[in-house]
Amino acid sequence: MTATPRLAFLASPADEAQRALAEMTARYGDHPPAEADVLVALGGDGFMLQTLHRHAGLAKPVYGMKLGTVGFMMNHQRSEDLIERIHAAEPAMLRPLEMVAQTESGATVGSLAYNEVSLLRQTRQAAHLSIDLNGQTRLDELICDGVLVATPAGSTAYNFSAHGPILPLGANVIALTPIAAFRPRRWRGAVLKADTEVRFRVLDPFKRPVSATADSHEVRDIVEVTIRESRDRTVTLLFDPEHNLEERILAEQFTSG
């Protein structure tokens, strides 16, 4: 990284983020994302995910500042010493999940997920799903509100709320977690090697329709979904040393709040 990295500032539409954007660009200048050395995202975790989906193809590191309601993937916001903070920042490399969903209409839809891919029932009827791992059926029928596959970075989000495990960064595992499972009643999910291909089939898609969502990209009326960790896409987030992502994930396991 150059002595004075070229920065591209990206901000959520929120008033606070827009005020910070004006202050930051006046102080540090601004470059188009394709010409920058570092992308600086101003907002919350939702905006960080939008930034990753929109600009991950540029392969530029992203430094986030919390200006939203949630900031697990962000650093504390302050305008001074930004260049020094970026130079001292610790990188965390994330590898997203690739989702390929097939719908009742015959369409095939692909999407990436940095947090999780979730399948959810669309009506009051419980979903009936089968689960294959690497081409082998492991669960003939899961009756549930839904099920999700989470990355380590996403394991503290929806996955944790659904009583799934928190996963350390760099452990090369993903979480398979049911949401309100009815049958098998005691099935709590599984921790899988990151290169496992997970395939869900909807057993009764007309009576019991199911949607699939990769982060915030929803596909409705699915019949089958295949999920695998991306082999060629990565993104690097930058964190202040005292507040790095690995430490946050660890701290989540020792909090009662």
| CB-facing half-sphere around the CA of 169: CA atoms within 13 A | 22
Distance from C-alpha of 201 to C-alpha of 152, rounded to nearest angstrom: 24
Is residue 52 a part of any domain in this protein? yes
Same domain, 113 and 151: yes
Is residue 198 a part of any domain in this protein? yes
For residue 116, say whether it is annotated as part of any ligand binding site.
Answer: yes
Q: What is the CATH number of the domain that holds 22?
A: 3.40.50.10330
- pLDDT tens for the chain, residues 1 to 257: 557 899 999 999 999 999 999 999 999 999 999 999 999 999 998 999 999 999 989 999 999 999 876 677 899 888 889 999 999 999 999 999 999 999 999 999 999 999 999 999 999 999 999 999 999 999 999 999 999 999 999 999 999 999 999 998 888 999 999 999 999 988 999 999 999 999 999 999 999 999 999 998 999 999 999 999 998 899 999 999 987 777 777 777 777 55
Length of the chain: 257
Is residue 173 a part of any domain in this protein? yes
Distance from C-alpha of 206 to C-alpha of 221, rounded to nearest angstrom: 8
End-to-end CA distance of the chain: 38
For residue 45, say whether it is annotated as part of any ligand binding site.
Answer: yes
Question: pTM value?
Answer: 0.89
Same domain, 198 and 163: yes
Same domain, 46 and 145: no
Is residue 116 a part of any domain in this protein? yes
Same domain, 140 and 56: no
Same domain, 79 and 46: yes
Q: Tokens 């329709």 appear where?
A: 209
Same domain, 103 and 205: yes
User: What positions carry a catalytic annotation?
Assistant: 45
For residue 3, say whether it is annotated as part of any ligand binding site.
Answer: no
Is residue 103 a part of any domain in this protein? yes
The residue segments making up the domain with residue 106 are 97-229
Measure the CA angle with vertex 227, ends 224 and 232; round to 5°: 140
DSSP string computed for 88-141: HPEEEEE--EEEEEEETTS-EEEEEESSEEEEEESSSSPEEEEEEETTEEEEEE
Same domain, 104 and 146: yes
What b/e string do you get for 191-204 counting C-beta neighbours within 10 Å, with b at 16 or more?
Answer: ebebebebbbbbbe
Same domain, 40 and 140: no
